[in-house]
Structures are given as structure tokens and as C-alpha cells.
Amino acid sequence: MCGIVGAVHEESGRVDPSLVRKMCALIRRRGPDDEGFHFDPHVGLGMRRLAIIDVNSGRQPIYNEDRTVAVVFNGEIYNYRELREELLKRGHRLVTHSDTECIAHLYEDFDEDFVARLRGMFAIAVWDIRQQKLLLARDRFGIKPLYYWQDGSNLYFGSELKCLLAVDRYDRRLDPQAAWDFFTYKYVPGPKTIYQDIAELPPGHIAVWKQGKLATRRYWQLKFSPDRTKSPDYYREGLLHHLEEAVRLHLVSEVPLGSFLSGGLDSSAIVALMSKICPGNVKTFTVGFGEGQPGADERPYASAIAQLFKTDHSECLYDNPQRQVESILPSMIEAFDEPFADSSMIPNYLICQAARQWVTVALSGIGGDELFAGYERYRGALAADSFQRLPRFLSDGISAAACALPHGRYGGLWVDRIQRFVEGAGLPLPERYQRYLCAFTESEKTSLFSSDFIAQLFKSGGGVTEPAMNRVEPCSDPLERILLTDMETYLPDDELRKADRLSMWHSLEVRVPFLDHKLVEFVATIPSHLKLKGWEKKHILIQCLKGILPNSILNRRKQGFSIPLGAWLRDPLRALVEANLSPRTLYDIGIFNVQTVEQMLKKHELGIRNYETQIWALLVFVMWYRAFFSKH
């Protein structure tokens, strides 16, 4: 695990080694154990290493036998031992036991197609000296990040945006469309970034630079192919087999390893299988908030699982949200480099911070919800079809009653969800699903931004946010269409981005067994009615884990890694909000309608409406802007 950077110029320009070293130094947190570089006159590659596999001899860059292929790599290849044996049989000479060295020799044998043979998470840069060609590759689901900026015929890349912001030739400018989209999704949807002209290599893609030209292509795409001739028992048994195999592969490590444990279904399943494979040798971590923070403490559930499987369990309790959030929010914003407003980043930051005191690698249950239909919004998006079929007088009456529900000073999330449900029920599925996801609707954003910003946005050809569902290959099954949308958008751009940035900020590697691509491809054959069966979410996963996990976990309602954000914004974090969303600050930034923001803050404070999601997005954006633009 590490971070990678690089630059490649045409023959007319030489790469400055000091720039590559500077880019690399900015991501030292990703790899505090070592650094390495490869320099040719027109090429520079750099890496920071967090030593996990082949600790003693796995230094990068790594080369083939005649040093005509150089590789820097971020991630883990879980089938590297199998690949190593194949390479040795084909006559290759390998001098390390690292997964990185396999990449160099696989490239020799299979050129760009070598990526299809990798099982793991990765961002890779391969420099082919003979062909003067650079190949960049990103894993199938976007577990590991990779950004690039093309300056004419020159190319710069890095594991984090801060690497590219360090290039003197780059003119730091806000992308208006990316900012507009951020206030829809609470993250910047890839491949765009918040900075003009800097892009993210999409998941499952490679990019090839040669003779000053860059071309990208997709090498893998998830396709649903349900087989309704198979029995539920076939899928239950097959799922358990693939899940056990994925967890076993993800346990390869030469350094201390553990697991996050919330007491929910996904993390509990991983801990149960870890304990089966490595009995009595599992370290687990959970985080909770103290008294006065209702609904945010999952420690009792996690403790029950830890006791059941006899793990070495650590509970991390935080009971002063004002002090905690105010102290870590600047660090979180720096970790992401661009605005990111999923409020679960707070407990995720804290659990990564706590876990790193004991382990270097932690397994996570990320991906389980997207694979098996675990989010409440999936039921809502499908239930809307039934709502539309109600008699008009009945649906109108329900809608009117929903709109009249009071938000209250210390609640409102469920009221907001009910109101969103009835508002989106009559829309086509893509627009409906976006309504259930969004922080601000299109009309709300028109009111949020200043007229000058909107004029600039539409003048540049931007404007309305296209529903994420329209950007993926269509499916005939509505649930499959929703799941595929989340797998290609929300999963890489929110869940995996959050996990990578916050874990690597603490020099911690997070692994996600649910996203082993062999497991995912098997799950793609399971009919959707076995994932969401009636009102039971994750039906097939629950059936698979019967007899492994107790009923109290199997039947538990999903809680999520949540915090009581609405109450915090009214009281302990009020000073932070007022300092960053003051009229003077907003006028200085110049892109917001100050009166709209003032009204939003007032209504939230009085309990007229719960604006926690919108205020948090604004707070994060303004703090990011002040840190990354006001000082430059």
C-alpha cells in the first residue's frame, strides 16, 4: 500500500526531478515507511510505501529483468502468489516476493491486457522504456484513487489531488459544474474533480500516454446476468463460498491486521469469517459517542459480536462532539483536497485514527449495501410505483398530510424522507432516485447560488445535474438499475473515496472483501427478488449467514455510521457554523445567495425545517474553499 506520482513529457521537455519529489512528499501519510523514484530525461515516477507485503525487499519502483519496464503501484494484489508461480513457470526471474514485481512481468507477457488478471485493489503506473509508453490503471471498483492532468502533450498523475496542485504550471481554478454537482450529491462525481482540467481515472479503466497523446478505455464492466433456473439454496451456498474465499484472500499481510466492527450485518459477517479462518487472532474496533447522542452508539451490538467470536476488541468513545469535530474537520478537508460532505466521515475519521494505534490493515464491510440492496432508499424508490397506482384522492391526501408534518427542533430526518418520497413518487426512476439522494434539488440550487455564478455556469455550457442513473448502462430490472447506479457512482465517489482518504491520512490500509470482483460477479447472477424480498433487505445474505450470526444481528434494522448532526449544528457546532457561513464570508467567496443561506440557517435553528444535510454541505464547501483557494 502506498501512494504514487509521476510526470511524463515529450522529447521536447525534461521532467524536473525536484517536482516529482515534491509531489511525492505531499502524500507521505499514504506511505511513511519508504520512498522510491525512477527518472529518465522525460519521465519521473515516484512512490511512498506503507510496507505490508514483502516488507524487507518489496521496495518500489520494481523492474523486469532487463529494467525496460518500471512499475509503481498503490494497492494489494491478492492473487499474487498464484501469479508468481505462473510467471516462474513461464521462465521469468523474480527477485522479490512482492505483488508489485508480478505486475512488471505480467505487462511483459500481456501488455495492456495484464490488468484483467489482477485480483485486488490498485492504482498502477507502468513505464515502458522501449515503447516510451506510460500505462495507468485503476481497479474495477475504484477502491484506490488516481488523478491526472494533461498539459498539452505532457501528463502529470498522482494518488491525490494535492500532488497535481503542486505543479507550478497548473492554474488552480474552480470547475463551476463540479461545484453545482457537489451540492446535489455531497461529493464531486467522477471523473470530474472540483478543479478545472484535473480528472480522475474512472474505475475499471486504463489510460495510455504515448507520443504526447492520452487515450483511455474501459477494461471491465459489471453486468447483471440473473439465472432464475437456480434454487435459492444454490445461491446461498455459492455466496458463502465466495465470501469466505474473499475474506481469506484479504487476510494476507506481514503486519498487524484487524477489522472495523459496527455490529451491523456486513462488518459482523466479515469478523465471523475472519474468526473462522484465524481463530483467536482477530482485533476489532468500534467507535461510539457518549450520553446525550441518541442513536449514534452501536457499541452494544459490536460488543456482542466481539464476545461471540472472542475477538480482541477495542471501543473508542467520544463524548465531546464540539471539541472533536472542530479539531478534526480541517484535517478531514485537507485529506480530501476537494469538498466532501458525507457526515459519516466524522466517525470514519475517528475509527481510522483509533485503529492505527494497533494495526496497519483493517477490513471493512463497504460494498455490502450496494451488492445486496441494504439501503432504505432502495425500498422507497420501488415502493413509489405502488404509490402512483393508488386512487388519486388517496395519494393526494397522503401527500398533503406528509407536507404538513412538522420537522421539529430535534428531529426531521424521517419527516424529510417521507416528504421526499411523496415529492419523487411521480417522477421517472432516474429523477426519482436522484430526488431521494440529493442534498439540494435543482430549483434549490438556483436559489442557493448568486446570479453571477449561475450566469457563469450556464455560459460555460453547464447547469442541470444529469441523474446518475442516466450515466450507466440501462437494465430492465428496476432494482438492478438502481444497484448498478450506486456501484458506478455512489460507491466509488462517496464510500470508497471516504475510506481511502481517511484511512490513508492515518497511514492505515482499509480492505473491502465484499468488493472482490469474483464475489461481485457471482452476486450479479443472483435474481433481484432474492436481494430485496418484499420488505426484507439483503435477504440472500441473511439466509447465507444463518447459523453463523445470531438472529439479533440478522434481524437488526440498519442504523448506519451516523451522528446526530442536526442537533450538533444547532448547539455545540453553532459557533463553527456562524464563523464560516457569516454574510461577510459568503460575500467574499462570491458564489452564494447570502439571503438564501441566512434563511436556511434561521429555519434550522428554529426547528421549522431540518436543513442539517444542506448546512453541512455548505460548511464543508466554505471551509474547503477558504483553505484551498483563499490562500492561493
144 in a structural domain? yes
Q: How many domains does the chain have?
A: 2
| Residue 587 to residue 462: CA distance in whole angstroms | 23
* Least confident window among 179-193, 277-291, 315-329, 422-436: 315-329
What mean pLDDT value characterizes the chain?
A: 91
Told to judge if 352 belongs to the known catalytic residues of this protein, a careful annotator would answer: no
Residue 409 has pLDDT above 70, yes or no: no
Give the mean model confidence (pLDDT) for residues 439-462: 92
Domain assignment of residue 245, yes or no? yes
**Same domain? 200 vs 262:** no
pLDDT of residue 17: 95
| pLDDT beyond 60 at 118 | yes
What's the CA gap between 91 and 384, in Å, rounded? 60
**CA 204, CA 227: separation in Å to the nearest integer?**
25
481 CB contacts (<8 Å, ≥6 apart)? Answer: 429, 469, 472, 474, 475
Element (H, E) at 486: helix 478-488
Nearest-CA neighbor of 163 among 247, 271, 60, 72?
Answer: 72
- Residue 481's nearest CA partner among 381, 369, 365 is 381
Give the per-residue pLDDT at 224.
94
Of 241, 192, 202, 239, nearest to 222 by C-alpha is 202
**Residues 94, 122: one domain?**
yes
* Range of 29-43, 191-205, 279-293, 392-406 with top mean pLDDT: 191-205
Reply yes or no on whether the pLDDT at 283 is more than 90.
yes
pLDDT at 121 over 70: yes
Among 35, 32, 41, 33, which residue's Cα sits nearest to residue 7?
41
Domain closes at, from 538, 553, 568: 553
Q: Which amino acid is at 415?
A: V
Q: Look at 97 and 491; give whichever has higher pLDDT.
A: 491
- b/e per residue 188-215 (b: at least 16 CB within 10 A): bbbbbbbbbebbbbbbbbbbbbeebebe
Which CATH number is 56's domain given? 3.60.20.10
Cell of 442: 435543482
How big is the chain by its Cα radius of gyration, in Å?
Answer: 24
Long-range interactions of 464-467: CB distance < 8 A, separation 24+: 465/180, 465/181, 465/184, 465/185, 465/434, 467/430, 467/431, 467/433, 467/434
Tell me: the pLDDT tens digits for 321-357? 667 888 899 999 999 999 999 999 998 999 999 999 9
Question: Does the structure show a pLDDT above 60 at 237?
Answer: yes
Higher pLDDT, 16 or 408: 16
Mean pLDDT across the stretch 251-263?
A: 90
Is residue 143 domain-shared with residue 269, that is, in the same domain?
no
Both 91 and 203 in a single domain? Answer: yes
Please state which of the ranges 314-328, 469-483, 567-581 shows the lowest mean pLDDT.
314-328
CATH code of the domain covering residue 260: 3.40.50.620
Helical (H) or strand (E) element with 72: strand 69-77
Give yes or no for residue 484 having a pLDDT over 60: yes
The pLDDT assigned to 319 comes to 73
Is residue 394, in this structure, part of any structural domain at all? no
Q: Are 262 and 378 in contact (CB under 8 A)?
A: no
Strand partners, 62: 71
pLDDT of residue 401: 72
- Does one domain contain both 242 and 268? yes
pLDDT value at position 459?
A: 81
pLDDT higher than threshold 70 for residue 396: no
Q: Is residue 331, in this structure, part of any structural domain at all? A: yes
* Residue 238 belongs to some domain of the structure: yes
pLDDT band at 293 (very low <50, low <70, confident <90, very high): low
CB neighbour list of residue 172: distance below 8 Å, 6 or more residues apart: 165, 195, 628, 629, 632
pLDDT at 399 over 60: yes
In this structure, of 284-298, 303-317, 531-545, the range with the lowest mean pLDDT score is 284-298
Q: State residue 44's pLDDT score.
A: 97
Residue 81 has pLDDT above 60, yes or no: yes
> Sorting pLDDT into bands at 50, 70 and 90, what band is 631?
low
Over range 365-375, report the average pLDDT. Answer: 96
**Residue 182: its H or E element:** helix 176-185
pLDDT digits (tens, 9 = 90+) for 605-620: 988 888 999 999 999 9
The phi-psi region of residue 325 (left if phi > 0; otherwise alpha if psi is between -120 and 50; otherwise beta) is: alpha
State which of 505, 527, 553 marks the end of a domain.
553
- Asked if pLDDT for residue 290 goes beyond 80, the answer is no
Q: Are 27 and 160 in contact (CB under 8 A)?
A: yes
The answer to whether residue 508 sits within a structural domain is: yes
Last residue of a domain, one of 533, 553, 573: 553
pLDDT over 60 (residue 295): no
Q: List beta partners, residue 257.
A: 361
Arithmetic mean of pLDDT, 94-116: 94
Selected catalytic residue, list 2, 102, 163, 544: 2
Residue 411 belongs to some domain of the structure = no
Cell 474512472, located at residue: 202
- Cα–Cα distance measured from residue 136 to residue 138, given in angstroms and rounded to the nearest whole number: 7
> Considering the chain, what percentage of its residues have pLDDT values greater than 90?
73
Is 214 in the same domain as 238?
Answer: no
Residues 170, 203 within the same domain:
yes
Assess whether 212 and 270 both reside in one domain.
Answer: no
Query: Do residues 121 and 43 both lie within one domain?
Result: yes
Strands (E), 180-282: 198-200, 205-210, 213-218, 257-260
Percent of the chain with pLDDT over 70: 95
Same domain, 108 and 43: yes
Task: List, for residues 26-35, the tens digit of each pLDDT value.
Answer: 999 999 999 9
CA 103 – CA 605 distance, rounded (Å): 55
Range of the domain at 214: 2-174+189-218
Question: Where is mean pLDDT largest: 175-184, 387-396, 430-439?
Answer: 175-184
Are residues 158 and 276 part of one domain? no
pLDDT number for residue 411: 54
Same domain? For 237 and 358 the reply is yes
Is 529 part of any domain?
Answer: yes
